[in-house]
Amino acid sequence: MTNGFCVTSAANYHILENTDLTTPSAPPATIVVAGATGDLGFRIAQELRKRGAIVRALVRPGNTKPAIASLREQGVGILEVDFNDVAALTYACAGAACVVSALSGLREVIIDAQTHLLDAAVAAGVPRFIPSDFSIDFTKLPEGSNRNLDLRREFGHRLDQAPIRATSILNGMFMDLLTGQAPVVLFKIRRVLYWGSADQPLDFTTIANTAAFTAAAALDATTPRYLRIAGETATIRDLQAAANAATGQRFGRLRAGGLWLLRLLIRVTRRLMPAPNDVFPPWQGMQYLHNMFTGLPKFASLDNNRYPEINWTSVREVLAARQ
Ligand SMILES: NC(=O)c1ccc[n+]([C@@H]2O[C@H](COP(=O)([O-])OP(=O)(O)OC[C@H]3O[C@@H](n4cnc5c(N)ncnc54)[C@H](OP(=O)(O)O)[C@@H]3O)[C@@H](O)[C@H]2O)c1
């Protein structure tokens, strides 16, 4: 251990030979990834390696997840760092072209840990920072309408004050959630459940597409403050058609009520099952759906074509691949 962090595999800092560099003559960029033991962060690290980047994953001390061995096998450098130790984080960020955060959590993560990471990136002279936003367009949502997205907006204000170039990737809802976690396509009763209008367009992107796009953006020094992507923008009627096509069965629509009723249910659920320390309690998912059904966070334009090598996965494909 030195200075509060531990380099568990110094050899892994060095890029593997014969890696496929996007620009053969350019030296490989070093990208720091926080949250690489998580679902999205792991895939971002993988996609960065595919693009020839040197990847440094910052992990909490004592993390024994199998993801770490897998990252190491892929040539990712693993650094154990205390996310409260800005000096250690600064050392860990040295020489990087971009810091990517795919951390997930509440205030102590999205505000506290990410602020330490931001301070470290600035202190280390890293030119670019990608925060863990990965959501619907919270810049258009009123304060108080979604707890988790309020935290991202609050961190965004800090980011905008910092002397570093920031890029947020906004991807709508993870499309993968449609096969289970998000109660929209109800396979057992063959219904598509919704609130409000069946004609409201909703943005969806797979976790894999989001990771590929984020990796490309991390290696692109010309990115703007926000990039918006959607593998598919679909209404409830479109989801119904996708479910029919994917399963060969006929799905109906089930309108649970107006948006006012969903808002009321959120309030009641939050009162009865507050779970204040859960990142995604049921009422949080309901807030997300409510936001989407209002149409407010709908993307006005998309940056999908920025990296033409990405093939966008459709809702039908995701539903068809469901086990
Ligand atoms: N748009 C959508 O529909 C949607 C859906 C889901 C997630 N997301 C977003 O995608 C991003 C990544 O989420 P995910 O699902 O990949 O998360 P995840 O699988 O839960 O992974 C979270 C990562 O954050 C790390 N972490 C958590 N608390 C930490 C702390 N206090 N200090 C340091 N590291 C910490 C975890 O490390 P350990 O291994 O040490 O625990 C892990 O690497 C988040 O912004 C999340 O909100 C978006």
**Domain end residue (candidates: 230, 246, 268):** 230
**Domain assignment of residue 303, yes or no:** no
**Domain assignment of residue 215, yes or no:** yes
Residues in the chain: 323
283 CA → ligand 1 middle, Å: 18
* Shortest-distance Cα residue to atom 18 of ligand 1: 38
Co-location of 122 and 95 in the same domain? yes
296 CA → ligand 1 middle, Å: 25
Instruction: Please report which helix (H) or strand (E) contains residue 94, including its range.
Output: none
**Could you read off the pLDDT of 61-94 as tens digits, one per residue?**
999 999 999 999 999 999 999 999 999 999 999 9
Point out the least confidently predicted range of 12-26, 31-45, 180-194, 284-298: 12-26
**Could you read off the pLDDT of 267-301 as tens digits, one per residue?**
999 999 999 999 999 999 999 999 999 999 999 99
Give pLDDT, residue 16. Answer: 32
**Per-chain mean pLDDT for the chain:** 92
88-94-96-97 Cα dihedral, nearest 10 degrees: 120
**Domain end residue (candidates: 213, 230, 247):** 230
**Could you read off the pLDDT of 133-156 as tens digits, one per residue?**
999 999 999 999 999 999 999 999
**Domain assignment of residue 305, yes or no:** no
Cβ(167) – ligand 1 distance below 6 Å: no
Cβ(103) – ligand 1 distance below 6 Å: yes
pLDDT tier, 181 (very low <50, low <70, confident <90, very high otherwise): confident
Provide, rounded to the nearest whole percent, the portion of the chain with pLDDT above 70: 92
Co-location of 127 and 263 in the same domain? no
pLDDT greater than 90 at residue 25: no
Give pLDDT, residue 8. Answer: 38
Co-location of 41 and 143 in the same domain? yes
Instruction: Please tell me the number of Cα atoms within 13 Å of 206 on its side-chain side.
Output: 16
Mutation test residue for ligand 1: of 64, 82, 103, 173, the one with most atoms within 8 Å of CB? 103
Rounded CA-CA distance 292/276 in Å is 22
* Shortest-distance Cα residue to atom 46 of ligand 1: 104
CB atoms near residue 190 (< 10 Å): 16
Co-location of 98 and 56 in the same domain? yes
**Domain assignment of residue 36, yes or no:** yes
**Domain assignment of residue 21, yes or no:** yes
CB contact set of 141 (below 8 Å; sequence gap of 6+): 149, 153, 291, 296, 297
Q: Which atom of ligand 1 is nearest to the CA of 103?
A: 24
pLDDT tier, 226 (very low <50, low <70, confident <90, very high otherwise): very high
**Could you read off the pLDDT of 155-173 as tens digits, one per residue?**
999 999 999 999 999 999 9
Co-location of 40 and 149 in the same domain? yes
237 CA → ligand 1 middle, Å: 31
Mean pLDDT of 121-135: 98
Domain count, the chain: 2
Give pLDDT, residue 18. Answer: 33
Give pLDDT, residue 27. Answer: 83
Counting DSSP H helices and E strands in the chain, the numbers are: 11, 15
* Shortest-distance Cα residue to atom 26 of ligand 1: 103
**Could you read off the pLDDT of 189-217 as tens digits, one per residue?**
999 999 999 999 999 999 999 999 999 99
For residue 290, what are the domain limits?
175-201+233-296+310-321
- CATH at 215: 3.40.50.720
Instruction: Please report which helix (H) or strand (E) contains residue 121, including its range.
Output: helix 114-123
**Domain assignment of residue 302, yes or no:** no
